[in-house]
Amino acid sequence: MLLKPDAVQRGLVGEIVRRFEDRGLKLVAMKMLRVSRSLAESYYAEHKGKAFFEPLMAYISSGPVVAMVLEGDGSVALVRTMMGKTNAAEAEPGTIRGDYGLTIGRNVIHGSDGPESAKREIGFFFKPDELHEYRRIDEAWLRE
Ligand code: DAT
Ligand code: MG
């Protein structure tokens, strides 16, 4: 997932990471970087040609982002649920977008929409040796 430039500028990084950590998802990689125009275009290639593509490119490359990889049972779907609807205006309170976002064009966070896209997107930001394998001390208490 990515904490988008508005999340960084608004000081929401810690709060959002805390939600995932509290839920029991394991943080296995994290990095702050500036997304270049060309990286943004490849990353969001599926949206090329759509009306919101140019504003999306400008937004995502407008400041540093924080990229991270979270691991855990059903983590891809769980992260999407915790993020809330794409349009923050419609996102349920209690979700990240529903608590911190107001519009679709500044919706705070990106999360992969499936295991295949997760694999692809992780490759944009991390080398294999930047993904860490370790045990959290509470792992035994997160599942039966
Ligand atoms: P998500 O980020 O929930 O996976 P998406 O992949 O459909 O949503 O779109 C990627 C981003 O593009 C989204 O976070 C915000 C922007 N976007 C999508 N649909 C839009 C629309 N109809 N108008 C403006 N921006 C939009
Ligand atoms: Mg998407």
pLDDT (0 to 100) of residue 79: 98
Q: Which residue has tokens 């996102």?
A: 91
Token pair for 72: 């855990």
pLDDT (0 to 100) of residue 19: 98
* CATH number for the segment(s) 2-130: 3.30.70.141
Residues 6 or more apart whose CB falls under 8 angstroms from that of 73 comprise 143
Q: Mind listing the pLDDT tens digit for each residue in 77-104?
A: 999 999 999 999 999 999 999 999 999 9
User: Model pTM greater than 0.85?
Assistant: yes
pLDDT (0 to 100) of residue 78: 98
The residues annotated with a catalytic role in the active site are 110
pLDDT (0 to 100) of residue 71: 97
Query: Does residue 59 contact residue 4 with C-beta atoms inside 8 Å?
Result: yes
The CA 25 to ligand 2 mean position distance, Å, reads: 20
With cut-offs at 50, 70 and 90, classify the pLDDT of residue 22. very high
pLDDT (0 to 100) of residue 51: 98
28: part of which helix (H) or strand (E)? strand 26-34
With cut-offs at 50, 70 and 90, classify the pLDDT of residue 50. very high
Sequence letter at residue 143: R
Q: Is 56 in the pocket of ligand 1 (CB under 6 A)?
A: yes
Residues 6 or more apart whose CB falls under 8 angstroms from that of 54 comprise none
87 CA: nearest ligand 1 atom: 15
With cut-offs at 50, 70 and 90, classify the pLDDT of residue 31. very high
Q: Which of 56, 60, 103 is the pocket-test mutation for ligand 1 (most atoms within 8 Å of CB)? A: 56
The CA 144 to ligand 2 mean position distance, Å, reads: 32
Q: Is 105 in the pocket of ligand 1 (CB under 6 A)?
A: yes
Helix ranges restricted to H, the chain: 5-9, 13-23, 37-43, 53-60, 75-83, 96-100, 115-125
Q: Is 64 in the pocket of ligand 1 (CB under 6 A)?
A: no
Query: Does residue 78 contact residue 65 with C-beta atoms inside 8 Å?
Result: no
